[in-house]
Amino acid sequence: MPNRRLNLVFLWHMHQPDYRDHVSGEYLLPWVYLHAIKDYADMADHLERHPAIRAVVNFVPVLLDQIEDYCRQVESGDIRDPLLRLLAIPDLAHIDAAGRKLLLDACFRSNYRTMLAPFPRYRRLHDLYQRLAPEGEAALAYLSGSYFTDLVTWYHLAWIGETERRRRPLIAELMNKAEGYSAADRQALLQLIGDILKNLVPRYRALQERGQIELSATPETHPLSPLLLDFHSARESIPRAPLPEADAYPGGQQRLAAHIEAARASHARRFGAAPVGMWPAEGAVSSAVAQQLAEHGCAWIASSEGVLRSSLARHGGNPHHAAYRPWKLASAPNITLFFRDERLSDLIGFEYAKWHGRDAAQHMVGQLEGILADSAPDESPVVSIILDGENAWEHYPYNAYFFFEDLYGLLENHSRIRTTTFAEILAQPAPENPAQLSGLAAGSWVYGTLSTWIGDPEKNRAWDLLCAAKQSYDAALASGCLTPEETVAAERQLAICESSDWFWWFGDYNPSQAVANFDHLYRRNLANLYHLLKLPPPAQLDLPISKGSDTATTDGTMRRALEHHS
C-alpha cells in the first residue's frame, strides 16, 4: 500500500507533586517553578517552532495549581518558596545561617555536566565551595554576601530554559555580566521568571486552539488509581505481593470519581473544555479503572506495553506488534486504550542524552521506519511514545534543544511518518480498527506492576496510615461536625494525601535524604488532615515511616533532598 503511513503519538506528561506545607504555606521543594521555567517553557517552544508537529501534552491539575500559586507570589511579592525568596532578598550579606546553608545545599544540585560546568563563573563558585567544605562551617563562614548573591543568581540562570535564553536579552546580559549582581539584577530576573510562569498555560492553550496539540489530564492529585479501588489488584502482576493490613482503601471508588471530576473541571476552566482522554497517574490501570474513566466521559486512556503484555498473557491474544494499534476493552467498550512503546520511550528518556542530537534523531526515525516496514501491508501502525516532559532534558546538552530541533525537523518533513494525537485518531472518519482485549491486567508503566507503590513494608505502612485517616474523615463528615467550608478544606487535604508520589518514595532504593523529605511531608499532610477534622493526630505520625528517614527534617526548609527531585 503506497500511501500507508505510521501514526506517531508523542505524549509528554507534566507532573510534580504538591510540595506545599499547607499549614505554613511554605514550599518545601522548588521543583515546580524550576521545571516550569526550564522544561515546560522549552517544550512549548519546540512545538511553536515546528507547527507541523502534533503531540499530546498531559498536565496534572495539582501541578497547574502550584504554577498559578507561584504567579501570585511573584505578582504580590509575598514569596513562600525559600529558594525563590532568597533570590529576591535585596541584601544577602545578612541572611541567617539557615539561609546560607540552604543556598549551599541547593545551588550545586544541578546536573554538573550540562548545567554547571558550561558556565565558568558558576563553576568557579562551585570550585571554591569544594575547597572550603572539607574544612567545615568555620571555613564556609568566610563566604561573603557577594558570593551568595552570585550563587543564587547563577543557579536560577542555569535553570532558565534554553529557548528562553535565546529569546530573552536579559538572560544574555546577566550571563555576560557573570558576577557582582545587584538587587536590581535579581529583581529583574525574578520578574522574568514570573513572566515565564504566567505565560505557560496561555501558550499551551494557544497550541491546542490552533489544532497542533491535544491537552489531556490526570486525575486531580495523581492518585494511584488501581490501588484506590482494590489493594488486591497488585497481585494480578505479583501474586504473592505483601499487602497493607487494611483490606481496602475506604470509599476508594468515590474518591477516584472525585479526582476524575475535579481534573475534568480544572482542565475545562484552564483550557476551555474537558479533556478527551486521560493519562492515569503512572500509567497505572486495571479493568475497574478503565470502566470508571469511561463512565466519566473519557474517550481514551493510555498505559504501557508491559501492562498489555500481562493482559495478553492472562486473557489471551497475539503479542506481535500488539502495542502498535488501539485496543478496546470488553468491559468498557466506550473507551479506547493505547500503549506506549517502552523501548523507544526509554531511548529518549535514558539513552539519547549521551548521543549527538542529530545522530539520536536519525536513529529514532530509523526505528520508526523499521516498525512501518515490519508491519502488515494493510496496517498503519500507531506508535505511542510517552514519557515525562521534564526530568530527562537536564541530562542533554542545551536542555535537549538540538535533539528536538533535529527530531521534529526530520519528522515534519517525513512522507511516511505522521505525528498525530489520540483524539485525532479517534476522530478520523475511518479510525484505526482497534483490537479487542477481554481483560486488562492491573499494572503501571514501571515494570508493568504496581510494586513501586505497594508491597514494601514502608509503602504498606503508609497506606495503613492513610486508611486510618480516611476512616476518621468519613466519621467526621457523617457526624456533621464540619461546616461546608471546613468540609471543602478537609477534602482538598485528603486529595493531597492520596497522591501516588508519597508511596513511590518509600523503600530502600531511593536516596535516604530524599525519602526523609517526602516521609516528613507526607506525615505532615496527614497530621494537617486530622487538624482540619478537629481531631488530634495519632502519635505514630511523629515517627518516620522509613527506617532511613532523618527525624531532624524541619518544617519550611528544603534540606538536602535537593540531590534528587521528582
DSSP letters, 498-566, are TBHHHHHH-STTS-HHHHHHHHHHHHHHHHHHHHHTT-PPPGGGGS-SSTT--TT--TT--GGGGGS--
Residue-level pLDDT at 351 = 98
- pLDDT above 90: residue 92: yes
Residue 298 in 3-state DSSP? Answer: coil
pLDDT one-digit tens code per residue, 346-361? 999 999 999 999 999 9
Percent of the chain clearing pLDDT 90 (strictly above): 90
Per-residue model confidence (pLDDT) at position 2: 53
The phi and psi torsions of 452 (rounded to 5 degrees) equal: -70, -15
Confidence check: pLDDT of 562 > 90 = no
Angle at 278 between CA 275 and CA 282, to 5 degrees: 150
The pLDDT, as a whole number, for residue 550 is 47
Cell 520508526: give the residue: 368
pTM of the model: 0.95
| Tens-place pLDDT, residues 408-420 | 999 999 999 999 9
Query: What band does 539 get if pLDDT is binned at 50, 70 and 90?
Result: very high
How high does pLDDT run on average in the chain?
Answer: 94
- The CA distance from 466 to 252, in Å, is 12
Pairing status of strand 327-329 against strand 332-340: antiparallel
Least confident of 65-74, 346-355, 459-468, 508-517: 508-517
Q: Is the predicted pLDDT of residue 317 greater than 70, yes or no? A: no
Q: Which residue has the higher pLDDT, 60 or 564?
A: 60
Whether the CB-CB separation of 31 and 566 falls below 8 Å is answered with yes
pLDDT at position 314: 84
Distances 494 to 245, 357, 476, 502, 504 between C-alpha atoms, Å:
20, 44, 13, 13, 18
- End-to-end Cα spacing for the chain: 45
With 50 as the cut, is the pLDDT of residue 472 above it? yes
Q: What is the DSSP string of 202-220?
A: HHHHHHHHTTSEEEEE--T
Would the CA dihedral through 100, 106, 107, 109 be positive or negative? positive
Please tell me the distance from the alpha carbon of residue 78 to that of residue 57, in angstroms, as a whole number: 31
CA dihedral 547, 551, 553, 554 (to 10 degrees): 150
Over residues 21-29, mean pLDDT: 93
- Residue 107 pLDDT class (50, 70, 90 cuts): very high
State the Cα–Cα distance between residues 366 and 359, nearest whole angstrom: 10
357 φ, ψ to 5°? -55, -45
Structure confidence at residue 512 (pLDDT): 83
User: What's the pLDDT band for 486 if we cut at 50, 70, 90?
Assistant: very high
* DSSP structure class, residue 339: E
Per-domain boundaries in the chain? 457-563
What pLDDT is stored for residue 561 in this prediction? 33
Q: How confident is the model at residue 431 (pLDDT cuts 50, 70, 90)?
A: low
Least confident of 45-54, 232-241, 374-383, 542-551: 542-551
**Local confidence band at 507 (pLDDT 50, 70, 90 cut-offs):** confident
